Structure 1
């Protein structure tokens, strides 16, 4: 809904936007068309005043919005009148009367010109008289907007996000830093996993393990937990699990800083929340085929609408199938995602949504490259040191959830969410020997040419159940408005992990020359190596988490300009990690540690003008550890604390938003690998780390045709307290300077090229330390991407052809290093892809 003073619809149908024509860049064009528009406004029936219209086939409500803006008139009609009706559109020079006739063709709706510049719409045949329950008439002017979930929405900006407060509070009134990457950006950039989508947000870096896009660094701290519609979807995050697809996503929300006050166990750098596509009342169908370099083939589909014969039920079925090779030798991916969902609205006050997400992929894990001295080795980034005879690796993920909402009245709402997640992962590969230490891997007698390898296999299986119950309400007290939230949540996660093969000692005959590698390992090696027990035989692990939380939040608004956000959360956590030579032995050895703590959050925002806000906040986080030290002792909870201040703006009728923020963030009892233990799961607390920096994010439209999304981050992330000599070192994989800028231009007002869009983007990062020991660095880089597309109108359908190029200048760069989860960072360096081209054909109807 628009703010007071801007006309809007009151029905559920979204309003589709055309241009606002309000910026200086279009002044010259406005002067050239001002005269005919004024004449038409004075006499809208004048047939001699022709205008060049360009309105494609689309839902009627959005076609009317476009016509209102291009002609300068206002339409008055009942919002239910146009619901579910399509329009064939209009293209060419017509009088207003002729254009409107074409736009309404086949709709069963007539029009009547009133005094001034208003046009009234009504049914041609009225079968029933209007009653007191009829919805009020609505005026539509040249200022219109899309619903956020509208699949036709091209806007890069979003004015609200549920991740920050679990309420509908606008971002401009929320005293925290929030960014949203909408579907439109993912479509233009043709992202397949959220790793690429998150490049559009400041202070976020990918940190893969085994080459999979499964974890991220936010404001300097690694975050392996990703949320889905407000609930954690990755559970214990053991093993690698499946990647996060984009085919079923509406948007990706990022809340910067500690979010434990509402979400419990989360890293203090920030929260990543995936918003999935929901069933819609209006029918929409699309199918897309992509094809590109390295035998890349991908099919995406999306179908939604009401279920015939039952107006209270709607459905959606989205998904993707992808098959591709890689610029990395021997790597490939074969992945399928399906996401059916259904929504039931038994009344205006109650809504129940059910959805199932299932992803399965066969792949080959990537062991990456390695460092020689203080830089990545000078070898081709395509070279891999796994083997073509490695068995196929597999992982899968299933999410089953529901969302039940009931509104007691217009002010009080109860919401219950539930999500069950099941993640399975199994991989086998050739890896460097001594693979969980920081020792030198190369044979010193070979001139740093050969290193020893062994064969290692691991399997992880986890299940997570999480739910919450939230009561939100709005009321006035002592002249101030309140938006209050009270809630409880619960998480239970159980996971097993087991590995095979001697991961420390080399297998005779498997050493390899890095400059002249010879491949083709005898399959018998795999069977023999995997039958070899580990040094101490303890290769079974059992993880268990039980987490209860109760929280509250109050958003107080004073004098319509001051917003105070206060709240807190109390956690009760029980964690454990058992280790043994069998599953039963690990269960018997499972310790149980109980922790509890309080996490407050306070924020203040002052909005002196509708387009500007100044804010500050202080917040903490509480994260129980289920790791153990080399001696078997449990580790104290991780505690995060942040101070933040910033400035937000919205320009051009909320089409363009910016956020500038400064933060100071600390984390105590930072858990990491114990480098002195051969046990790959032995942990130690670094002590304390600090990250501080400045962020700038911008997203939206500068004009009707010019869109932008970009960011810049200065980040100083260091270890400030440590007991092993790391104090003062920079945190790994965090560049001091990073940022991106993506620009898009849509041609709307030049008839020969209408429908053409093109864009250009740059993604850059400075030099980064490869590990917390600061023994080597990854060089900085700047990557250039581009795209062009053309939209054809086929009756009521749209056919979109698109061509994307990633890394246009074919630069060599390195994205990240392994976080010591499956390999030491020095032998787990993951390069970025070279120049890659992709073509796309998409049909929407």
Structure 2
């Protein structure tokens, strides 16, 4: 597989630290204290994803959480999962095959439509390069009006670092006790007048604490390069172009196996895949954004992104036998497979403000599209019957390149959308809109219309109470039912739809602290229900789109500064998730949907140079199987951290020590009975960062 890497050329610099400023209150001037630590405030006032334009959270009739770069850096996060731990509404799923799965409000986020990058639909079948991100927005609830087909739980919008006019040069290195390491360069500045850039380069090597049955450690090798350039043609026109590439090769670990009591079968540090199983991914994104301001009130935005995802996956593919016991043999079914995904996205938005009939309007009119292609080559090897403890079998001599057939799947869709935020007076606002969406796919053409309605009430300037109604849709995978013994054989399928009613409140307690709460009720309908017919001479079954899944619950969060020295990001969710009508799982709860989940991360600044961090991440009891026969115990993981900053000959140097799972708690994270993720044991990581 061909590899190409970016090299980033940069100039040196750093903005000086903000120093404490104390005004003279005896002169009648308000006293303002700004601490000059490296860290920024935890609180974020606006988000771009929920309204598809930069909007105040107090004027957004939807639950949105923004995880800022400050917290990402403090936690030394290297994966999106480590970032999303900070939002209790998101539950971790399986991590098998070097990728991560998440659920939002109990609904699994799809790789194809659950993630955005800078507002573009993003194919997320791999661990995201989070070093390129300035922050992550968690948009909860149905959001199809602005982005098209998506799951009812919400969307993850990853916002990338933008070029900067101020010169920036940061070099960092971190290591852990297993020998893992990461080197990162983050640079930016003005190349010539009106031409700015931002570049990131990362080299990471990971050694995991789980090992293969022949004693070898699982490892990962990742290289990331990105470059983004802004050109201000004039005061009204900005053009951005960017490119990034990730190369990520890792040994495979499809997870541990559980018995009927929810206990791990065998040693929880043992990988059942063979040591020669691997996945090798190359992902690139290239695109451009254009912003044109007609005047201060009206803006035109255009964006295009082309994402290419190529992956070789050489599997040993161990299969868990029914009622498996320690020492039993199991079958592995090796194969070599090549996947080629191509994701091309495009949008055009017109955003403006005007007044009409004593009301102010903030209007968004736009169109976006997605062109999807997938191709697969695959070659299978003979099955291997393996007894644990025996010598590991050699890697089969097979290659996907010998496959003379090519499986392909293609579709495209586009959507037209409209949104209007109407301000009636200082207390009342309403947001309304709709989207028409058209999918073109062989045998599965479909079109949908989804509305959105929200009402906001501001009892005081710093508070909002809102209610919203929103919908999402996911086109059915096939236009017809293929079973000719079914009454509705050949029936056209409608899209699976979801509708949510959400009641929420947001209170900006101070300029640095925001508290939010939300009650939600989501119904997902349209799944296929198959019923057996009695005494029908012509048909055996009847299938209808009568399935119903309902998730309802409550969320509470606080984000910002509690005092001048204590900062916190905290959230909790209570969830009741159930299949109310389903052929197989009626009355059951989905996998990895706990009733209670809590996330807390905090920082306390002892001095302007020394800070301490502490975090608690709690997941309640969850089912490991759809039949709700196997339960995973609740767990609470405690993380600790400390940082110290010093000026060494004019260079600011930060030292950071983090201890994840400080109490060395044994726990099971996401995943089911045959692919559960074993929680990492206590791990220490140390980072040095120099800012020139």
> TM-score if structure 2 supplies the norm length?
0.89
Q: 664, 669, 673: which one pairs with 1:826? A: 673
Task: Give the secondary structure class of the aligned counterpart of 1:593.
Answer: coil
What's 2:5 paired with? none
Deviations, residues 401-422 of structure 1 (Å, cap 9, x unaligned)? 2110000001000000111111
Task: Give the secondary structure class of the aligned counterpart of 1:566.
Answer: strand
Matched, 1:657 2:514: yes
Structure 1 distance, partners of 2:94, 2:289, is 31
What's 2:121 paired with? 232
Q: 557, 560, 567: which one pairs with 1:700? A: 560
Are the structure 2 counterparts of residues 555 and 141 from structure 1 closer, same or farther at C-alpha, using a change threshold of 3 Å? Answer: farther
1:207–1:213 Cα contact (<8 Å) kept: no
Which has more strand, going by share of residues?
Answer: 2
What's 1:179 paired with? 65
What's 2:498 paired with? 640
2:612–2:643 Cα contact (<8 Å) kept: yes
Kindly state the Cα deviation for residue 243 of structure 1 after the two structures are TM-superposed: 1.1
Matched, 1:841 2:667: no
The list of structure 1 runs, each at least 4 consecutive aligned residues, that deviate by more than 6 angstroms after superposition, is 143-146, 528-533, 683-686
Are the structure 2 counterparts of residues 458 and 206 from structure 1 closer, same or farther at C-alpha, using a change threshold of 3 Å? Answer: farther
1:629–1:684 Cα contact (<8 Å) kept: no
What's 1:755 paired with? 609
Structure 2 distance, partners of 1:204, 1:275, is 18
Structure 1 distance, partners of 2:669, 2:593, is 11
Kindly state the Cα deviation for residue 320 of structure 1 after the two structures are TM-superposed: 1.3
Kindly state the Cα deviation for residue 351 of structure 1 after the two structures are TM-superposed: 0.7
1:425–1:461 Cα contact (<8 Å) kept: yes
Kindly state the Cα deviation for residue 625 of structure 1 after the two structures are TM-superposed: 3.3
Q: 354, 368, 377: which one pairs with 1:489? A: 368
Matched, 1:786 2:640: yes
Structure 2 distance, partners of 1:447, 1:159, is 53
Q: 405, 427, 430: which one pairs with 2:313? A: 427
Deviations, residues 484-537 of structure 1 (Å, cap 9, x unaligned)? 0000111111111233326xxx835x3223xxx3342123xx12798999xxx9
1:242–1:360 Cα contact (<8 Å) kept: no
Are the structure 2 counterparts of residues 605 and 376 from structure 1 closer, same or farther at C-alpha, using a change threshold of 3 Å? Answer: same
What's 1:736 paired with? 595
Task: Give the secondary structure class of the aligned counterpart of 1:831.
Answer: coil
Are the structure 2 counterparts of residues 415 and 699 from structure 1 closer, same or farther at C-alpha, using a change threshold of 3 Å? Answer: same
What's 2:44 paired with? 158
Matched, 1:267 2:118: no
Structure 1 distance, partners of 2:240, 2:400, is 45
Higher relative contact order (CA 8 A, sep 6+): 2
Kindly state the Cα deviation for residue 143 of structure 1 after the two structures are TM-superposed: 7.0
Point out where structure 1 has 5 or more consecutive residues left out of the alignment: 1-56, 75-115, 119-139, 576-590, 673-682, 749-753, 818-824
1:369–1:376 Cα contact (<8 Å) kept: no
Are the structure 2 counterparts of residues 164 and 530 from structure 1 closer, same or farther at C-alpha, using a change threshold of 3 Å? Answer: closer
Task: Give the secondary structure class of the aligned counterpart of 2:333.
Answer: strand
Map 1:658-737 onto structure 2 (within 5 A): 658-670=515-527, 687-724=547-584, 726-737=585-596
Map 1:382-531 onto structure 2 (within 5 A): 382-388=269-275, 390-433=276-319, 440=322, 442=324, 449-501=328-380, 507-508=383-384, 510-513=385-388, 517-523=389-395, 526-527=396-397
Structure 2 distance, partners of 1:686, 1:767, is 29
Matched, 1:592 2:462: no
Map 1:244-643 onto structure 2 (within 5 A): 244-307=128-191, 310-329=192-211, 330-388=217-275, 390-433=276-319, 440=322, 442=324, 449-501=328-380, 507-508=383-384, 510-513=385-388, 517-523=389-395, 526-527=396-397, 540-575=406-441, 591-626=442-477, 631=482, 636-643=494-501
Kindly state the Cα deviation for residue 355 of structure 1 after the two structures are TM-superposed: 1.0
2:312–2:337 Cα contact (<8 Å) kept: yes
Structure 1 distance, partners of 2:331, 2:131, is 41
Structure 2 distance, partners of 1:429, 1:501, is 9
Structure 1 distance, partners of 2:562, 2:643, is 20
Matched, 1:745 2:604: yes
- Report the structure number with the largest CA radius of gyration: 1
Kindly state the Cα deviation for residue 794 of structure 1 after the two structures are TM-superposed: 3.1
Task: Give the secondary structure class of the aligned counterpart of 1:375.
Answer: coil
> TM-score if structure 1 supplies the norm length?
0.73
Are the structure 2 counterparts of residues 627 and 733 from structure 1 closer, same or farther at C-alpha, using a change threshold of 3 Å? Answer: farther
Matched, 1:798 2:652: yes
1:551–1:569 Cα contact (<8 Å) kept: yes
Structure 2 distance, partners of 1:305, 1:406, is 22
Kindly state the Cα deviation for residue 454 of structure 1 after the two structures are TM-superposed: 2.3
Deviations, residues 349-379 of structure 1 (Å, cap 9, x unaligned)? 1111111111011111211111211313243
Task: Give the secondary structure class of the aligned counterpart of 1:810.
Answer: coil
Structure 2 distance, partners of 1:343, 1:143, is 35
Structure 2 distance, partners of 1:143, 1:407, is 37
Are the structure 2 counterparts of residues 806 and 548 from structure 1 closer, same or farther at C-alpha, using a change threshold of 3 Å? Answer: same
Deviations, residues 130-151 of structure 1 (Å, cap 9, x unaligned)? xxxxxxxxxx9837799xxxx9
Which has more helix, going by share of residues?
Answer: 1
Map 1:47-62 onto structure 2 (within 5 A): 59=15
Structure 2 distance, partners of 1:258, 1:145, is 39
Matched, 1:774 2:649: no
